[in-house]
Amino acid sequence: MSVTIVTGASRGLGLAICQLILKKDSEAKVVAVARSGDQLSDLAAKFAPRVLSIAGDVTDSSVVKQTVEKTIAKFGRIDSVVLNAGLLDPVGHIAELNVDHVRRLYEVNLFSVIDLVAQTLPYVRETGGNFLFVSSGASIKPVDGWSAYGSSKAALNLFCASVSEEEPKVRTISLAPGTVDTAMQQDIREKFKSGMKPEAHKRFTDLHKRQELLPPDVPGTLYANLALQGIPQELSGKYFRYNDDKLTKYAA
Amino acid sequence: MSVTIVTGASRGLGLAICQLILKKDSEAKVVAVARSGDQLSDLAAKFAPRVLSIAGDVTDSSVVKQTVEKTIAKFGRIDSVVLNAGLLDPVGHIAELNVDHVRRLYEVNLFSVIDLVAQTLPYVRETGGNFLFVSSGASIKPVDGWSAYGSSKAALNLFCASVSEEEPKVRTISLAPGTVDTAMQQDIREKFKSGMKPEAHKRFTDLHKRQELLPPDVPGTLYANLALQGIPQELSGKYFRYNDDKLTKYAA
């Protein structure tokens, strides 16, 4: 049996990862963390007693602390942590960025991640477990209007490498899920148009029009398999895109 | 005549860059920004009236605003901005990181940088000018105990690429200065020993013992030349180490 904590678990990629873990391994336990507890109730009802739902904001360190305490109290161990909660906003050109909005993005995309890794590390060391960071292609190649998001994901990649460097007993991976058909993509199409140049924005509306957005299960399967089977040593600390050849065996 | 803003200008690499710019070009103007105004007085006395000193903390957005306003009032233009102010602390292993200390580091190493770039961009666009980001080798390859610093510099590299991507009229470079004989190195040897594994720490004490730390003028010359001559288009948006072959012509 294995225990995986997933943040941003109420929808999209995070929800898909939870469901896939629970379906693929009938012994697996999932701790689903999300701001909105309501959206976790379906998952909890379907897979109880293998699901522990935590309603709370991961940028609140007391929520992170409670998550760890409740996980240990209920399941006794932590094998994997999927750091999925993330924010794209603020989308906008650099001359117009509101630095307070950048700070808020970093609270979600980086500082809460560092907090959760720091607080779970003693337990993940014990199981020789895994940290899976949800990264982005925008961490490697900048996307117009996404400097706050892209830089936070570049920071995440280096943080992932740092955990692997410092902690020989754990494995880590920073994995970009591709362009997935989630609420974030809907926001890009509708809400964030004004913050991007037309041609940069069109790339995303075109992907949607041509129905080329990935179903959440496609990258979700990779995270679920890596969380359940463990990240191989030769991939640890590194960044990959979901369709990298080195990940083929985890794609089904 | 060109006008360059340099942050963290009171000592070490920042001070060297200011002095080199002023010596290399007798028409050049420098705006030297540092928390401690006292340490700027020698520079201002030696090179007045070509120096504008600003005493203030760049994490305070009103200081950034004043810096831009005073620069335009005194010199009328901005050609280059050298984003040098930086903090290494907190140094420590991830399980022991204080997230509030990580936030403080990001205020200096990233958020103040985004603020200064956003506020100077309208002027740097007008001159077809340059943003020079002081990066670190730790942004590419993690150093034990430096996950906060390294991740902030990885974020900086991607932000540098983003500015270049979004702003066709300006040039940017993210440049790692190597291991320079500054107060930061003294802190690493003396103050941050407990936050690093012995073998990781020894690398720095050995460099010092063997007198292999770089004088600030060695990388400083690169920043000064690139600020004065302009960053070539083919290097714009990218990360380099100070000793990269592509930079040889800027090293003297």
Nearest one of B20, B129, B156, B134 to B85, comparing CA atoms: B134
Q: What is the mean pLDDT of residues A209-223?
A: 96
Residue A101: the pLDDT is 98
Cβ–Cβ under 8 Å, residues A11 and A42: no
Bridge partners (DSSP) of residue A220 are: none
- Containing B210, the helix (H) or strand (E) segment is none
Q: What is the mean pLDDT of residues B190-197?
A: 93
B91 touches chain A (CB under 8 A): no
Q: What is the mean pLDDT of residues A201-205?
A: 95
Q: A7 Cβ partners below 8 Å, 6+ apart?
A: A14, A33, A34, A58, A82, A83, A84, A85, A112, A116
Q: Does position B158 have pLDDT exceeding 90, yes or no?
A: yes
Geometric angle at alpha carbon B147, from B213 and A55, rounded to 5°: 170
Dihedrals phi, psi of B220, to nearest 5 degrees: -55, -35
Residue A33: the pLDDT is 98
> How would residue B209 be classed by pLDDT, with cut points 50, 70 and 90?
very high
Residue B83: the pLDDT is 98
ipTM score: 0.96
B104 touches chain A (CB under 8 A): no
φ/ψ bin of B76: left (φ > 0), alpha (ψ from -120 to 50), beta (otherwise): left
Q: Does position A37 have pLDDT exceeding 90, yes or no?
A: no
> How would residue B233 be classed by pLDDT, with cut points 50, 70 and 90?
very high
Q: B236 Cβ partners below 8 Å, 6+ apart?
A: B164, B171, B172, B173
Question: Which listed residue (B136, B139, B147, B153) is catalytic?
Answer: B153
Residue A139: the pLDDT is 98
Q: What is the pLDDT of residues A100-117, one digit of tens each?
A: 999 999 999 999 999 999
B203 touches chain A (CB under 8 A): no
Residue A102: the pLDDT is 98
Total domains present in chain A: 1
Q: Is B147 a catalytic residue?
A: no
Question: Looking at CA atoms only, how far is residue A178 from chain B in angstroms?
Answer: 18
Residue B38: the pLDDT is 80
Q: What is the mean pLDDT of residues A201-228?
A: 96
User: Which tokens belong to B213?
Assistant: 């730390």
Average pLDDT, chain A: 96
Range of the domain at A15: 3-178+215-243
Q: Assess if residue B184 is contained within a domain.
A: no
Q: What is the mean pLDDT of residues B128-135?
A: 98
Q: Assess if residue B224 is contained within a domain.
A: yes
Distance, in Å, from the CA atom of B50 to the CA atom of B44, rounded to the nearest integer, reads 8
Q: What is the pLDDT of residues B95-128, one digit of tens each?
A: 999 999 999 999 999 999 999 999 999 999 999 9
Q: Assess if residue B51 is contained within a domain.
A: yes
Residue A29: the pLDDT is 98
Q: What is the pLDDT of residues A138-168, one digit of tens each?
A: 999 999 999 999 999 999 999 999 999 999 9
User: In A, which residues are within 8 Å of B96 by CB distance?
Assistant: 118
Q: What is the pLDDT of residues A229-244, one digit of tens each?
A: 999 999 999 999 999 9
Q: What is the pLDDT of residues B7-29, one digit of tens each?
A: 999 999 999 999 999 999 999 99
A22-31, A194-203, B130-139, B157-166: least confidently modelled range: A194-203
Q: How many helices (H) and strands (E) does chain B have?
A: 9, 7
Residue B230: the pLDDT is 98
Q: What percent of chain A stands above pLDDT 70?
A: 100
Question: Looking at CA atoms only, how far is residue B239 from chain A in angstroms?
Answer: 12
Average pLDDT, chain B: 96
Q: How many helices (H) and strands (E) does chain A have?
A: 9, 7
- CB-facing half-sphere around the CA of A215: CA atoms within 13 A: 5
User: In A, which residues are within 8 Å of B142 by CB distance?
Assistant: 158, 161-162, 164-166, 237
Cβ–Cβ under 8 Å, residues B40 and B32: yes
User: Which tokens belong to A164?
Assistant: 């692997």
Q: Assess if residue B204 is contained within a domain.
A: no
Cβ–Cβ under 8 Å, residues B15 and B9: yes
Q: Assess if residue A205 is contained within a domain.
A: no
Q: Assess if residue B207 is contained within a domain.
A: no
- Containing A18, the helix (H) or strand (E) segment is helix A12-24
Query: Which CATH number fits the domain that encloses residue A224?
Result: 3.40.50.720
User: Which tokens belong to B144?
Assistant: 């034990």
Residue A39: the pLDDT is 80
A76 touches chain B (CB under 8 A): no
Q: Assess if residue A76 is contained within a domain.
A: yes
Nearest one of B154, B176, B174 to A159, comparing CA atoms: B154
With tokens 């903390």, the residue in question is: B57
Helix, strand, coil percentages (3-state) for chain A, rounded to 5, are 55, 15, 30
Q: Does position B39 have pLDDT exceeding 90, yes or no?
A: no
Cβ contact, residue pair B94, A156, below 8 Å: no
Cβ–Cβ under 8 Å, residues B150 and B139: yes
**Could you give the residue ranges of the DSSP H alpha helices within chain B?**
12-24, 41-47, 61-75, 99-106, 112-127, 147-166, 183-190, 198-209, 217-229
Distance, in Å, from the CA atom of A221 to the CA atom of A219, rounded to the nearest integer, reads 5
Residue A65: the pLDDT is 98
> How would residue B165 be classed by pLDDT, with cut points 50, 70 and 90?
very high
Dihedrals phi, psi of B25, to nearest 5 degrees: -135, 110
Cβ–Cβ under 8 Å, residues B116 and B83: yes
Question: Looking at CA atoms only, how far is residue B73 from chain A in angstroms?
Answer: 20
Q: What is the pLDDT of residues B51-95, one digit of tens each?
A: 999 999 999 999 999 999 999 999 999 999 999 999 999 999 999
B101 touches chain A (CB under 8 A): no
Q: Assess if residue B205 is contained within a domain.
A: no
